[in-house]
């Protein structure tokens, strides 16, 4: 009823708006991304420029979303106003969209470009029902980033074990420095901390069982995880008011020398360096050992690009995915992102100490977790992260928190 | 007059009052002044911990950066795309409904009037899921039309309340006289009543402009991309990019607040007349 | 005016005799149509949605009262409800505060008009901007308020990180424009207070608070009514500030129903449209109590004329 005149009016408006770029006959490829932070933004701009140079008859139009807002927006635009390409995440995080038929099966792109071989490490996290639903382009390690200058200042050594780490915290505390910083205003940084405490205390299999809803949150092993964590919370080794701090603000605390350690993903290196740190002052080490009997597993989330089922130009979108999967493209993109390429024929920037350390660490890991909010279903992830955030402010509420998480688990995994 | 005019009091009282006024104002506007000051500070000042002092120089480049590096101008443009048609549509519709409810006595008049009044108070959340769904089905999700149509419909509630009260206060003799002369009803509306409604139309336009410009909830629910999002929602997503960059947040806030503020100062009389109609009957 | 039949057509006389009865309906038609489509029907539809489980992607699933039963045991729902009550109660402060400022400013000294508009102008600013301003004001480590508390008590208070204070911090931000609104209502009201009654009361020796309570306030009743209405509605609509300032945090302690509904229905980890609709229905029913009261009073006034 209203559709026609409005559509025409809209088309006219768009035509007027687009009047400046009067390049005729170019096929348009719309790409919704959440790469709003400076480094990813630049990396994607370069990626798209390269793509357009190779395929001059395709015009990629990017809709840039704010990183946090994107996670909400994607639900809306997938059902309503589909782009041809969209960023997302692997694993459980893409499952609701695949189940609802919102992502396009791109197994043909994988088969035609020999990706099952080249992207082998990520194949399982991209496969549902024996089909592939997108192309992974990057992954990155999580771990401990630290301020080398502060370590020298208080005479701390890079810890191997968690006991040593806690020892160091005493030194930092005495010097008036936050031993561990974090900003959980957007909640997910708290999940990274939990992941590591749980992985180091109980191991990979337990962690995966917990996020899959197979273990009770009131289990003594979960309590042990929090007891280890509490060795930092109770003495006040973690930045106060973390719940009102954005993760970038907390990163500033590290670069300004007000905090010594930060459990983060490798994408944060760009933020630390923007804050004035260099390879000489910023360091990385894997999260220290808590239980020596537990094999080391790491958090290494994979970021992906998908074709929505409602894409208007799926042909060119597949061309783009094939391009994105190429070893040389992933090498260049990940050098700019400061992350690790998924394609096993790509090369890692050896000169980058964080990447080479991360690469070694991940290849030695006994298992790779995606991340709490990608391994657990959305609702569980939300209540879990809220609980972690609360625990860091009020460790005394632990019983209450775990009780709530357990009742959420029973409801969510029905 | 209440309270007793200060001019009738002692000199000390007058003097104290005159001194108190600016102090009270500064305290009242403190958050605003802080933001305004921050918006012209170079980022180096903030990095150096100069949060409250004077800026080391006036950094107009913050505004430039916000508008052009971060494309705030686009969001501002989008806001105009949404706001102006809404103002026209809602005022036009309510001229009609206000006329119908203010002039004619018929069964159901009060019922319809209070349906509009009550609808105007409804929480947005009860409308959210269905309106979003409807917008998707109309194929106008994430376009200015999504917001324009909804806002026109919703604001018709408030506008009808306003117009109807205004029109029923008009002298009825004019209309009766026209009817005696055999003037058609729509001509009475067009030639007799509408010219008298100019002040109401002006007041309502200013008010609706401000309401719609400042809407955040629907902007978040019905639009997603930088090409369509109004400035309130745009500012909130830019805020995610500007973490720790308070000079940019401040400059962006000031720019986003400017159009309604300018509207208010230019059309103050109409604005206040609009807001307080009904408060003093 | 294409909706009207051709004035020269054969039905002219019929039209002429029924014109007065039909015209209002023709004038009302577009407004009622839009309002029905975008306001009346959605209310009904939300009630319906609240009995389904729906993620916005897959088909809907009927769950009967399931969503409401879940609400009952949902701790976050209870927190939101509690916060809504705090909002309602504290937001009411805007009414006396607005009256106070109005009385303070109701003078005729040079430049008072500018003062009045500057006092009013927080109301003109978007709540998003107000939220950002106060977020800056409260910011941990460098915010003006943080510094102030640090200077006074030795340790700074990060209002928005503290689950006990955060809601109050947001309400203060909301009160700022709301007080301005009430102030302007009262300023206009004070302008219309009958001077002869004031003078008469003054001759009887009434002064200050007594005068305010017994003579002025009764005359300000219409202004007070509107101020209460807009304040109640404003308190229950408090979505923007919560969303901008804390996003419901820390750990969900600043949620209000309007925000929690959005969170459950449309946010990153939500997408339970049916559950969201059930929250919206509860909010709507709470609001209906007030709306019914307001409308009842307005109908009475209307009939009284």
- The total of structural domains in chain B comes to 1
Query: From the CA of B59, how many Å to the nearest CA of chain C?
Result: 19
Which of the residue ranges A11-15, A19-23, C281-285 has the most confident prediction, judged by mean pLDDT? C281-285
Region at A213 (left for phi over 0; alpha for psi -120 to 50; beta for the rest): left
**Cβ contact (<8 Å) for B244 and A73?**
no
In a domain, C231, yes or no: yes
A72: nearest CB among C70, C160, C267: C267
Q: Does C247 touch chain A (CB under 8 A)?
A: yes
Is the Cβ–Cβ distance between B125 and C45 less than 8 Å?
no
Residue A192: is it exposed, middle or buried by C-beta count within 10 angstroms (0-12/13-18/19+)? Answer: buried
Element (H, E) at A199: helix A188-202
The domain tally of chain C equals 1
In a domain, B66, yes or no: no
Chain A residues lying within 8 Å of C70, measured CB to CB = 411
Res A80: pLDDT: 73
For residues A20-41, average pLDDT: 76
pLDDT at A10: 44
A273–chain C nearest CA distance, Å: 22
Residue C186: how many other CB atoms lie within 10 Å? 29
Phi-psi region of A371 (alpha: psi -120 to 50; beta: other; left: phi over 0): left
In a domain, B51, yes or no: no
Q: What mean pLDDT do residues C156-171 have?
A: 90
Q: Rounded to whole angstroms, what are the CA distances from B143 to B81, B186, B224, C83, C137?
A: 10, 34, 9, 34, 35
Q: How far is B179 from chain A (nearest CA, A)?
A: 37
- Tell me whether residue B38 is in a domain: no
Asked if residues A173 and A200 have their Cβ atoms less than 8 Å apart, the reply is: no
Is C41 in CB contact (< 8 Å) with chain B?
yes
Q: Which among C187, C182, C90, C173 is positioned nearest to C126, based on CA atoms?
A: C173
Helix (H, G, I), strand (E, B) or coil at A165: helix
What's residue C261's pLDDT? 94
User: What are the residue ranges in chain B where pLDDT is below 70?
Assistant: 244, 277-281
Mean pLDDT, residues A365-371 taken together: 87
Touching subunits for chain C (3+ Cβ pairs under 8 A): A, B
Which residues 70-129 in chain C show a CB within 8 A of chain B? 103-104, 106-109, 112, 115, 117-122, 124-129
- Which positions ≥6 away from C73 have C-beta within 8 Å? none
Cβ neighbours of B5 in C, within 8 Å = 107-108
**Which residues from B are below 8 Å from A81, CB to CB?**
141-142, 224
- Mean pLDDT, residues A253-278 taken together: 90
> In angstroms, what is the C-alpha Rg of chain A?
22
Q: What average pLDDT does range A129-147 have in this prediction?
A: 93
Q: What integer pLDDT is reported at residue A404 of this predicted model?
A: 92
User: Rounded mean pLDDT of chain C?
Assistant: 88
Chain C residue closest in CA terms to A386: C251
Which of C20, C22, C24, C232 to substitute to test the interface with B, most B CBs within 10 Å? C24
pLDDT given for residue A21 in this prediction: 46
A7 chain-B contacts, CB cut-off 8 A: 139
For chain A, the residues whose C-beta falls within 8 A of a C-beta of chain B are 2-3, 6-7, 9-10, 32, 36-37, 63-69, 73, 76-77, 79-81, 246-249, 252
Q: C204-210, long-range: CB within 8 Å, 24+ apart, which pairs?
A: none
Mean pLDDT of A266-295: 91
Whether B63 is covered by a domain: the verdict is no
Residue A290 CB contacts under 8 Å (≥ 6 apart), including other chains: A161, A162, A197, A200, A201, A228
Res B58: pLDDT: 86
| Subunit contact C136:B249, Cβ cutoff 8 A | yes
* Whether the Cβ atoms of residue A37 and residue A270 lie closer than 8 Å to each other: yes
Q: What Å distances lie between residue B222 and A3, B100, B131, B146, C48, CA to CA? A: 17, 32, 9, 6, 21
Q: For chain B, positions 144-183, list CB contacts with chain C under 8 A.
A: 149-150, 152-154, 156-157, 160
Helix axis angle, A67-80 relative to B125-138, nearest 10°? 50
Q: Looking at chain C, which residue has its C-alpha nearest residue A376?
A: C269
Domain-embedded: residue C81: yes
Over residues C18-46, the pLDDT tens digits come to 888 888 999 999 999 999 999 999 999 99
Band (pLDDT 50/70/90 cuts) for residue A385 is very high
Predicted confidence (pLDDT) at residue A47 exceeds the cutoff of 80: yes
The total of other beta-carbon atoms located within 10 Å of residue B11's CB is: 7
In whole angstroms, what is the distance from residue A323 CA to residue A303 CA? 16
Copy the structure tokens of residue C167. Answer: 């809601």
Q: Give domain status of residue B62, yes or no.
A: no
Residues 225-244 of C with CB under 8 A from B: 225-227, 229, 233, 236-237, 239-240, 243-244
Residue to mutate among A241, A256, A374, A378, with most C CBs inside 10 A, is A241
What pLDDT was estimated at residue C4? 47
Which tens digits make up the pLDDT trace of C62-95?
999 999 999 988 889 999 999 999 999 999 999 9
CB contact under 8 A, B224 and A73: yes
Chain A interface residues (partner C, CB cutoff 8 A): 68, 71-72, 75-76, 78-79, 96-97, 99-102, 185-187, 240-245, 373, 378-379, 381-382, 386-387, 389-390, 393, 404, 411
CATH of the domain at C256: 1.10.3720.10
pLDDT in tens, C178-228: 999 999 999 988 988 888 888 888 888 888 888 888 888 999 998 999 899
CB contact under 8 A, C40 and B119: yes
pLDDT value, residue C109: 86
pLDDT at A222 over 90: yes
Residues of B within 8 A of C176 (CB-CB) are 31
Beta-strand pair A298-299/A368-369: parallel
Of all residues in chain C, the percent with pLDDT exceeding 70 is: 96
Lowest mean pLDDT among A47-56, A223-232, B240-249, C107-116: B240-249
Residues in chain C within 8 Å Cβ distance of B149? 34, 38
Q: Is residue C166 part of a domain?
A: yes
Residue C15: count of CB within 10 angstroms of its CB: 16
Would you state the structure tokens that stand for residue A373, as one six-digit string? Answer: 């909010």
What's phi and psi for A263, nearest 5 deg? Answer: -85, 110
State whether A96 and C55 contact (CB < 8 Å): yes
Residue whose tokens read 């919102």: A102
The CATH number that applies at residue B77 is 1.10.3720.10
CB C274 within 8 A of CB C52: yes
Q: Which of C199, C165, C181, C193 is nearest to C86 (CA)?
A: C165
* Binary contact (C42, B134; C-beta < 8 A): yes
Identity of the residue in A68, A99, A244 whose CB atom sits nearest the CB atom of C250:
A244
Contact B257 C125 (CB under 8 A): yes
B240·A69 Cβ contact <8 A: yes
More confident: A69 or C139:
C139
C276, part of any domain: no
CA-closest candidate to residue B252, choices B81, B50, B68: B68
Q: Establish, for the pair of chains A and B, how many residue pairs have beta carbons separated by less than 8 Å.
A: 65
CA C202/CA C212 separation, integer angstroms? 11
**Is B241 in Cβ contact with A37 (below 8 Å)?**
yes
Give the residue numbers spanning the domain of C106.
Answer: 74-265
Are A241 and C140 an interchain contact pair (Cβ–Cβ within 8 Å)?
yes
Contacts of A296 (CB under 8 A, 6+ apart): A199, A200, A286, A289, A364, A365, A366
Chains touching A (3+ CB pairs < 8 Å): B, C
**pLDDT of residue C3 exceeding 50:** no
Q: What percentage of residues in chain A have a pLDDT greater than 70?
A: 93
Interchain proximity C185–B103, CB inside 8 Å: no
Test B240 with A68 for CB contact under 8 angstroms: yes
Looking at residue A15, what is its pLDDT?
43
pLDDT at A379: 86
Q: C158 and A244: CB-CB below 8 Å?
A: yes
> What was the pLDDT predicted at A357?
92
Q: Of B156, B186, B260, which has the smallest distance from its Cβ to C35's Cβ?
A: B156
Average pLDDT of the residues of chain A: 88
Could you give the CA distance from residue A336 to residue A40 in angstroms, rounded to a whole number?
A: 7
Given this model, what pLDDT does residue C10 score?
55
- Closest residue by Cα to residue B278 from B113, B70, B41: B113
CB contact under 8 A, B31 and C137: yes
| Long-range interactions of B55-59: CB distance < 8 A, separation 24+ | B59/B247
Domain that holds residue B247: 72-276
Residues whose CB is less than 8 angstroms from the CB of residue A27 and which lie 6 or more positions away in sequence, other chains included:
A57, A58, A59, A313, A316
Which pLDDT does position A25 carry in this prediction?
Answer: 64
Classify residue C129: in a domain, yes or no: yes
Q: How much of chain A exceeds pLDDT 90, in percent? A: 61
Q: Are C178 and C90 in contact (CB under 8 A)?
A: no
When pLDDT is cut at 50, 70 and 90, the band that residue A405 belongs to is: very high
Strands A302-306 and A85-89: antiparallel
Cβ proximity of B116 and B109 under 8 Å: no
For chain B, positions 216-245, list CB contacts with chain C under 8 A.
216-217, 220-221, 232, 235-236, 239
**Residue A231 in this model has a pLDDT that exceeds 90:** yes
* Among the ranges given (A109-113, A134-138, A289-293, B6-10), the one the predictor scored with the smallest mean pLDDT: B6-10
Is the CB of C163 inside 8 Å of chain A's CB atoms? yes
Reported ipTM: the value is 0.91
């Amino acid at each position: 009823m209203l559709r026609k005149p409005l559509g025409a009016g809209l088309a006219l408006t768009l035509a007027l708006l687009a009047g400046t770029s009067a390049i005729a006959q170019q096929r348009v490829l719309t790409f919704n991304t959440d790469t709003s932070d400076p480094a990813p933004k630049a990396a994607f701009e370069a990626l798209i420029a390269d793509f357009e140079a190779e395929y001059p008859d395709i015009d990629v139009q990017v809709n840039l979303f704010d990183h946090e807002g994107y996670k909400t927006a994607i639900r809306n635009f997938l059902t309503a106003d589909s782009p041809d390409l969209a960023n997302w995440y692997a694993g459980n995080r893409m499952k609701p969209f695949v189940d609802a038929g919102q992502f396009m099966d791109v197994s043909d792109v994988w088969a035609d470009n020999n990706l099952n071989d080249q992207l082998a490490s990520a194949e399982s996290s991209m496969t549902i029902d024996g089909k592939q639903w997108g192309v992974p382009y990057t992954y990155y390690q999580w771990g401990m980033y630290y301020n080398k200058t502060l370590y020298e200042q208080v005479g701390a050594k890079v810890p191997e074990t968690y006991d040593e780490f806690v020892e160091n915290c005493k030194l930092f505390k005495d010097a008036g420095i936050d031993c561990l910083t974090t900003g959980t205003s957007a909640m997910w940084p708290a999940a990274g901390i939990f992941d590591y405490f749980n992985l180091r205390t109980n191991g990979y299999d337990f962690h995966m069982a917990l996020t899959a809803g197979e273990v009770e949150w009131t289990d003594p092993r979960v309590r042990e995880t929090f007891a280890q964590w509490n060795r930092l919370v109770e003495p006040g080794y973690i930045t106060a008011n973390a719940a009102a701090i954005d993760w970038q603000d907390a990163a500033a605390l590290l670069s300004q020398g007000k905090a010594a350690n930060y459990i983060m993903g490798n994408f944060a290196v760009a933020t630390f360096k923007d804050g004035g740190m260099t390879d000489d002052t910023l360091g990385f080490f894997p999260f220290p050992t808590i239980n020596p009997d537990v094999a080391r597993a790491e958090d290494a989330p994979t970021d992906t690009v998908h074709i929505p089922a409602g894409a208007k130009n799926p042909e060119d979108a597949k061309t783009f995915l094939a391009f994105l999967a190429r070893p040389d493209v992933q090498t260049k993109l990940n050098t700019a992102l400061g992350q690790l390429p998924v394609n096993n024929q790509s090369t890692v920037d050896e000169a980058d100490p964080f990447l080479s350390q991360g690469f070694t660490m991940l290849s030695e890991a006994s298992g790779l977790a995606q991340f709490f909010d990608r391994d657990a279903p959305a609702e569980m992830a939300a209540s879990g992260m809220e609980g972690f955030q609360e625990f860091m402010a009020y460790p005394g509420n632990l019983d209450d928190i775990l009780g709530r998480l357990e009742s959420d688990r029973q409801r969510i995994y029905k | 007059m209440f309270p007793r005019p200060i001019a009738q009091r002692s000199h000390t009282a007058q003097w104290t009052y005159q001194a108190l006024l600016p102090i009270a104002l500064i305290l009242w506007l403190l958050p605003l002044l802080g933001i305004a000051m921050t918006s012209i500070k170079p980022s180096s000042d903030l990095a150096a911990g100069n949060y409250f002092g004077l800026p080391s120089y006036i950094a107009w480049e913050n505004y430039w950066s916000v508008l052009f590096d971060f494309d705030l101008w686009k969001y501002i443009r989008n806001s105009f795309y949404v706001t102006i048609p809404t103002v026209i549509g809602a005022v036009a519709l309510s001229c009609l409904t206000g006329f119908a409810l203010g002039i004619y006595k018929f069964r159901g008049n009060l019922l319809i009037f209070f349906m509009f009044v009550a609808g105007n108070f409804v929480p947005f959340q009860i409308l959210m899921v269905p309106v979003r769904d409807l917008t998707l089905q109309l194929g106008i999700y994430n376009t200015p039309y999504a917001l324009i149509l909804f806002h026109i419909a919703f604001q018709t509630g408030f506008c009808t309340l306003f117009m109807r009260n205004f029109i029923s206060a008009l002298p009825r003799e004019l209309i009766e006289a026209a009817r005696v002369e055999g003037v058609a009803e729509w001509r009475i509306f067009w030639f007799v009543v509408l010219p008298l409604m100019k002040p109401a139309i002006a007041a309502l336009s200013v008010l609706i402009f401000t309401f719609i410009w400042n809407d955040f909830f629907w902007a978040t629910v019905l639009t997603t991309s930088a090409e369509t999002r109004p400035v309130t929602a745009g500012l909130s997503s830019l805020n995610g990019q500007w973490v720790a960059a308070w000079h940019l947040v401040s400059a962006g806030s000031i720019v986003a607040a400017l159009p309604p503020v300018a509207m208010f100062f230019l059309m103050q009389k109409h604005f206040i007349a609009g807001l307080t109609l009904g408060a003093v009957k | 005016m294409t909706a009207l039949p051709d004035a020269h057509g054969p039905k002219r006389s019929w039209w002429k005799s029924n014109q007065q009865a039909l015209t209002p309906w023709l004038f009302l038609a577009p407004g009622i149509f839009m309002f029905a489509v975008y306001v009346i029907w959605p209310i009904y539809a939300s009630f319906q949605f609240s009995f389904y489980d729906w993620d916005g992607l897959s088909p809907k699933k009927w769950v009967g009262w399931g969503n409401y039963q879940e609400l009952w045991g949902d701790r976050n729902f209870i927190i939101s409800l509690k916060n809504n009550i705090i909002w309602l109660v504290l937001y009411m402060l805007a009414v006396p505060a607005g009256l106070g400022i109005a009385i303070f400013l109701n003078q005729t000294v040079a430049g008072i008009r500018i003062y009045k508009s500057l006092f009013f102008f927080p109301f003109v600013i978007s709540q998003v901007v107000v939220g950002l301003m106060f977020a800056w004001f409260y910011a941990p480590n460098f915010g003006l308020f943080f510094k102030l508390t640090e200077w006074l008590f030795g340790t700074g208070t990060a209002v928005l990180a503290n689950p006990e204070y955060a809601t109050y911090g947001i309400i203060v931000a909301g009160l700022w424009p709301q007080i301005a609104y009430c102030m302007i209502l009262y300023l206009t009201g004070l302008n219309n207070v009958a001077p002869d009654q004031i003078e008469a009361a003054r001759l009887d020796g009434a002064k200050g608070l007594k005068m305010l309570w017994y003579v002025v306030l009764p005359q300000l009743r219409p202004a007070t009514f509107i101020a209460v209405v807009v304040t109640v509605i404003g308190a229950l609509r408090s979505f923007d500030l919560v969303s901008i300032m804390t996003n419901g945090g820390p750990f969900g302690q600043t949620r209000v129903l309007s925000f929690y509904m959005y969170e459950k229905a449309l946010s990153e980890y939500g997408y339970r449209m049916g559950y969201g609709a059930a929250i919206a229905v509860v909010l709507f029913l709470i609001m209906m109590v007030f709306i019914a009261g307001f409308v009842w009073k307005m109908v009475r006034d209307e009939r009284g004329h």
